[in-house]
Amino acid sequence: MNLDDRAAIPPEVLVRQLGEETVILDLASGTYFGLDESGTRIWQLLQQGATLREVCNAMLAEFDAAPQDIERDVLDLARELSGRGLIRIA
Amino acid sequence: MTGIDLDLAPARRQRTLRSPVVTEWKLHGRSHARIHRTREGFLMRFPQVADFHISRDGSHVSTRPAPGVETPSLYNVYLSQVLPMALSRRGRLVFHASAVEVDGCAIAFMGASGRGKSTLAAAFATAGFPFLTDDGLFVEVANGAASVVPGHPSLRLWGDSGEALLGPEPGLEDGKSRILSGDRIAHCTTPRPLRRIYLIDEADDAGIAIGPLAGAPAFTALAAHSFLLADGDARLLEGHFEGLAALAGAGLCASLRYPRRYERLAEVRAAVLADSRSPRA
């Protein structure tokens, strides 16, 4: 996985936003997953087709955090979502 | 209503099952029940207690007890653990929770076993607030509004809880006893709009605390206390997900922490009443 990758959301993944947070259902496994406020923003940007680098840049503009922390958080979440089958990296 | 007739077969020693296991419930690290997939639907096995057959669409349940198991024990298992799973096959939202009626609305107490759901329901019922359910909370969500459907007209209480709340009562035992509704504890028999769901936290000797619970944490808590026998059925999974998301997003949930002392129950009841009557944040 690198910063030029984009994510696709499989059709069997259902998403609902609850306030500033998000819950996700993977119909294939029947498991739920929750995203906090920053995770929700990352998900929204990925859903819009942004590369991981573009996600990092947008998060840097919106959240008060160091660039290296944002890059680590974005990559960690993308790996976790990919590992759970909730996104496909392309 | 929430009932499904239970067909009873003669007792027989449980035989080894070879059908695939869908899920297993554990209690204190030990297997408490297993659900097997069968040609007709599902078989819930409670070792040394009974086998329950649930039709694939959840419309029919039959049971065969193990030798020596008494009928009341069989119905306790059926009402508290099998019926909720069967109803979930019919797309119903069912939770491990009790509920009482306050001002024409339902307030629910949700939490793991032993957190005090039944004791709280009894503490309200003995103070003139009829209970809607004890063993399983059946919720209907329609047009954005949630309502609670009454369950079985009985409360299951530990002997010490029963005695503390009801006084000496014939039939109360050291273990859990099922107490039918009557003059002292009324049962609400009509659906009521759901006003609050209290997620019961661990005991706190420091005092009573009620706090808001919303968003993903509310969803996660509701999911953890819900019954669902989906077995990969996408329609059931999606309906369950939508129902939980609607409840979590409706601002109905709150966390409840209190000391587990009978002499403080009146205070807990007063705090819950005040909170449930206050406008949502």
pLDDT tens track for B91-136:
999 999 999 999 999 999 999 888 889 999 999 999 999 999 997 8
B93-276: CATH class: alpha beta
More reliable by pLDDT, B3 or A3? A3
More reliable by pLDDT, A53 or B155? A53
Does the pLDDT at position B280 exceed 90?
no
Query: Given this model, what pLDDT does residue B40 score?
Result: 94
More reliable by pLDDT, B191 or B155? B191
Query: Given this model, what pLDDT does residue B98 score?
Result: 96
DSSP string covering B98-110: EEEEETTEEEEEE
| CB-nearest partner of B216 from A12, A21, A30 | A21
Task: Tell me the C-alpha distance between B218 and B199, whole Å.
Answer: 9
CB contact under 8 A, B216 and A34: yes
Q: How is residue A71 annotated by DSSP?
A: H
CB contact under 8 A, B219 and A23: yes
Does the pLDDT at position B66 exceed 60?
yes
Q: Which residues of A touch B220 (CB under 8 A)?
A: 23, 32, 34
Which residue numbers of B have CB closer than 8 Å to A's CBs? 214-220, 223, 230, 232, 234, 237-238, 241-242, 244-245, 248-249
State the residue for tokens 């919720």. Answer: B139
Helix (H, G, I), strand (E, B) or coil at B174: coil
A21 touches chain B (CB under 8 A): yes
Does the pLDDT at position B12 exceed 90?
yes
Q: Which residues of A touch B217 (CB under 8 A)?
A: 21, 34
Compute the average pLDDT of residues B219-240.
94
Task: Tell me the C-alpha distance between A54 and A31, whole Å.
Answer: 29
Task: Tell me the C-alpha distance between B175 and A33, whole Å.
Answer: 38
Does the pLDDT at position B1 exceed 60?
no
Task: Tell me the C-alpha distance between B79 and B53, whole Å.
Answer: 14
CB contact under 8 A, B215 and A14: no
Query: Given this model, what pLDDT does residue B53 score?
Result: 96
Query: Given this model, what pLDDT does residue B199 score?
Result: 97
CB contact under 8 A, A19 and B217: no
More reliable by pLDDT, B177 or A82? A82
Beta-ladder partners of B230: none
CB contact under 8 A, B219 and A34: yes
Query: Given this model, what pLDDT does residue B172 score?
Result: 56
Task: Tell me the C-alpha distance between B252 and B248, whole Å.
Answer: 7
Does the pLDDT at position B164 exceed 90?
no
Query: Given this model, what pLDDT does residue B279 score?
Result: 81
CB contact under 8 A, A19 and B220: no
A31 touches chain B (CB under 8 A): no
CATH 3.40.50 fits A7-85, yes or no: no
Helix (H, G, I), strand (E, B) or coil at B254: strand
Query: Given this model, what pLDDT does residue B169 score?
Result: 65
List the end-to-end C-alpha distance of chain B, in Å, as a whole number.
32
Res. B161 pLDDT band, cuts 50 70 90: confident
Compute the average pLDDT of residues B129-150.
92
**Beta carbons of A23 and B245 less than 8 angstroms apart:** yes
Res. B176 pLDDT band, cuts 50 70 90: confident
Q: What are the tens digits of pLDDT across the range A63-84? A: 999 999 999 999 999 999 999 9
Write the ipTM: 0.85
For chain A, which residues make up each domain, given as ranges?
7-85
Q: Which residues of A touch B218 (CB under 8 A)?
A: 18
Does the pLDDT at position B85 exceed 70?
yes
Angstrom distances, CA of residue B133 to CA of A76, B106, B110, B210, B262? 44, 10, 12, 22, 21
Task: Tell me the C-alpha distance between B269 and B276, whole Å.
Answer: 10
More reliable by pLDDT, B151 or B163? B151
Query: Given this model, what pLDDT does residue B175 score?
Result: 67
Q: What are the tens digits of pLDDT across the range A3-60? A: 999 999 999 999 999 999 999 999 999 889 999 999 999 999 999 999 999 999 999 9
Distance from CA of A83 to the nearest CA of B (A): 20
Res. B174 pLDDT band, cuts 50 70 90: low
Q: What are the tens digits of pLDDT across the range B184-209? A: 889 999 999 999 999 999 887 889 99
- Residue range(s) of every CATH 3.40.50 domain in chain B: 93-276
Task: Tell me the C-alpha distance between B157 and B130, whole Å.
Answer: 16
Smallest CA–CA distance from B249 into chain A, residue: A18
User: Which pTM value belongs to this model?
Assistant: 0.88
Residue B58's CB is within 10 A of a number of other CB atoms, namely 21
The residues, any chain, with a CB within 8 Å of residue B250's CB and separated by 6 or more, are B144, B146
